[in-house]
Structure 1
């Protein structure tokens, strides 16, 4: 075939193909990703998802199948399962779903794999979630377990020191800081934490000494007060040994003339005393007068009995000394 004939044949075949394609029935692909929603649809695909489906939302079939395979103990070793749960926990942690992350790390620890480094990471990661949720006691426990599983685990050691600070365990915080500074004496974060812990420890010890001093002073004041009262011939009658409840029952054995409606019953009556701070303090009905007198530094004693927001002073019978 000559060159000109070959070119003419190719041109004819091209025209025939174009006519055939143009004559095909035009159909729309309904399930495709159009230009308006392709990003949203891609985000739902298991290979491209960056967020977990909401609780109760049905998983895509492919993802559901992958998850079942991922957590199947018949095809995964305890270490593989623990690692898979750790990955889930890390994903939730990045999404700031700390409670879900805790559940994932906990499931990983339940596998009881023999990889102590992996177990330490699970404990440490869970402690991070607890710290951010301000569950400091749980964080403290997990940090301890992480260090037990991997001695010298610096991340866990740092968080343990921070947790001790939040729990007011200043001495332990300082000890942990000292351990960390042995390997890095220029760690400014740990140096700053240690300085703060030392300052708060001194303040705590000062407050404890002050509280102990005030306690001893109060005891001495009470002793002096009782001695002064005895030196003036003040005597405590049996009412100081008798409980207020018993006195109330005796006083209100019969309805007082002023209680026209019979509202005042021993079980409904509350007792208060006015202390040296000019404030009113409630008294337990099962207490004794002697106990109240020994516990309070008072200027004067008034007993107020009330019910249904009605107040009146009732002195005598209840307090005699």
Structure 2
């Protein structure tokens, strides 16, 4: 019979390897087992020396240190350790880049430029292509490639004139460079130099007749040319109509015996405010005049953009003075309580009848239109004498 010995709950459990169950945590049990087996506490594997050196460094500092290593650089940092002196590793790579025959040095710079271009860092790429060209190697293929690539960088950066300059330089070395013709055409199109753009794209099409991008650019240039020609034709038509209208207005005023004059400093008029025909382009339709009503005693004005020559001054005043003027606190201005005057050619005044048409007033031989604007002075009847005296004093000072 097998004897079974009962172990009391309070009796410690003896393990052959010396492990005691004292309600220890799993981590502590593993640590004690390791200590018993290896003769020392288990604290984790030792770090390599290089990693141990940065164990206590913050994440930001670690990234900064890594960025000084050329292999891990995300941006160009030319300072060395502790931000003092040059970055020796980077300087070593630069030195290697500039070693060798001139064409090898230029090729290395070109490769660096290509790498920057792939990640759309056009400014740095352009700088490397410039360095390659400054080597002045005797390999036209390298120089042409760098000029073409730098032209593309300038195109991406919208430096269109520099792009064109690089394309010209590339074509001087090799006139069959389709890329140079294509990029020059693209830059010229951006500058709206359509005739030159057409010439360049025609050469590119001759060299690459089946190239989709070349053909598409040719279509864009053609569309832009058509648009600009349309705009130019419209501009010329507007100019033609403007000149015709000016001459027709001049002849119409002469036929009506209306005098005009211009001053050295004419007032600025809003667009469309001028003497014109009632119906555009139709001389027989009659004239419209811009009229300035001047409330001389209150230093206020009202602009009538287009008063028909057949309208009487009284009818126009009835429309303008139908409601009290905002600044007329004494309510001195209404169609029945005012009189109208115009200045004569000699600086005097002529009273304007309210029932007389504007055409009759302007063609009386005494008044004239100044700078294309009819000026009518509006005065309260009860202050008529005051106005005339003020006018005389003003004329004497003038």
Q: TM-score range by the shorter chain?
A: 0.5 to 0.7
Structure 1 residue 139: deviation in Å? 1.6
Q: Is residue 2:156 matched to residue 1:106? A: no
2:255 corresponds to which of 228, 231, 238: 231
- TM-score, structure 2 length as denominator? 0.50
Q: Which runs of 4+ in 1 moved over 6 A?
A: 39-43, 314-317
Q: Is residue 2:314 matched to residue 1:313? A: no
Q: Is residue 2:69 matched to residue 1:31? A: no
Q: 1 CA distance for matches of 2:192 and 2:109? A: 33
Q: 1 CA distance for matches of 2:173 and 2:104? A: 18
Q: Cα RMSD over matched residues? A: 4.0
SS in 1 for 2:260: coil
Q: 1 CA distance for matches of 2:178 and 2:95? A: 35
* Structure 2 unaligned residues grouped into runs of 5+: 1-37, 39-44, 275-286, 304-342, 348-368, 372-398
1:168 aligned partner: 192
Q: 1 CA distance for matches of 2:237 and 2:175? A: 43
1:211 corresponds to which of 235, 251, 254: 235
1:65 aligned partner: 92
1:130 aligned partner: 154
Does structure 2 conserve the Cα–Cα contact (< 8 Å) formed by 1:120 and 1:150? yes
Matches within 5 A, 1:194-209: 194-209=218-233
Q: Aligned pair count?
A: 240
Q: 2 CA distance for matches of 1:164 and 1:173? A: 5
- TM-score, structure 1 length as denominator? 0.60
SS in 2 for 1:236: strand
Does structure 1 conserve the Cα–Cα contact (< 8 Å) formed by 2:67 and 2:75? no
Normalized per residue, which structure has more strand? Answer: 2
Q: 1 CA distance for matches of 2:147 and 2:293? A: 58
Structure 1 residue 218: deviation in Å? 0.7
Structure 1 residue 197: deviation in Å? 2.0
Does structure 2 conserve the Cα–Cα contact (< 8 Å) formed by 1:164 and 1:170? yes
Matches within 5 A, 1:238-257: 240-243=262-265
Larger radius of gyration: 2
* Structure 1 unaligned residues grouped into runs of 5+: 1-18, 20-25, 245-270, 279-296, 305-310
SS in 2 for 1:96: coil
Does structure 2 conserve the Cα–Cα contact (< 8 Å) formed by 1:236 and 1:320? yes
Evaluate the alpha carbon distance shift between residue 104 and residue 134 of structure 1 in structure 2; reply closer, same or farther with a 3 A threshold. Answer: same
Q: 2 CA distance for matches of 1:302 and 1:112? A: 73
Does structure 1 conserve the Cα–Cα contact (< 8 Å) formed by 2:97 and 2:109? no
Does structure 2 conserve the Cα–Cα contact (< 8 Å) formed by 1:164 and 1:172? yes
Structure 1 residue 242: deviation in Å? 3.3
